[in-house]
């Protein structure tokens, strides 16, 4: 599935991913490939991006808000204040603050 995280300043992340865990307004939820189409509001929290099947992933200083977890470098995290998510046709777009 393809994930794109966009803020008012820049595109924070844009790549194929295995799954994404999100801070929904009614609790944390995970999205996998072939998830049903959905639109959801996100609250303050951390987006966790699972990139296990990726052989290489470049996180440069432009994307400094993307942080690999200490115990698992294939899980990336992004802190958000709020946001909106749309999933359709295996593409997830997150508009984050």
Binned at pLDDT 50, 70 and 90, residue 56 comes out as low
Q: What are the pLDDT digits (tens) for 6-55?
A: 988 888 888 889 999 999 999 999 999 999 999 999 999 999 999 877 65
pLDDT tens figures, 76-95: 888 899 999 999 999 999 99
Task: Identify which has the larger pLDDT, 58 or 4.
Answer: 4
Three-state SS sequence of the chain: CEEEEECCCCEEEEEECCEEEEEECCEEEEEECCCCCEEEEECCEEEEEECCCCCCCCCCHHHCCCEECCCCCCEEEEEECCEEEEEECCEEEEEEC
pLDDT given at position 61: 44
Whole-prediction pTM: 0.82
């Amino acid at each position: 599935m393809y994930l794109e995280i966009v803020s008012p300043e820049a595109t924070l992340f844009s790549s194929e991913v295995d799954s994404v865990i999100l801070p929904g307004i009614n609790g944390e939820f995970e999205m996998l490939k072939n998830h049903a189409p959905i639109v959801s509001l996100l609250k303050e929290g951390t987006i966790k991006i699972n990139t296990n099947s990726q052989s290489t992933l470049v996180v440069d200083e432009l994307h400094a808000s993307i942080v690999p977890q200490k115990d698992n470098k294939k899980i990336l995290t992004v802190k958000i204040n709020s946001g909106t998510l749309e999933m359709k046709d295996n593409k997830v777009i997150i508009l984050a603050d």
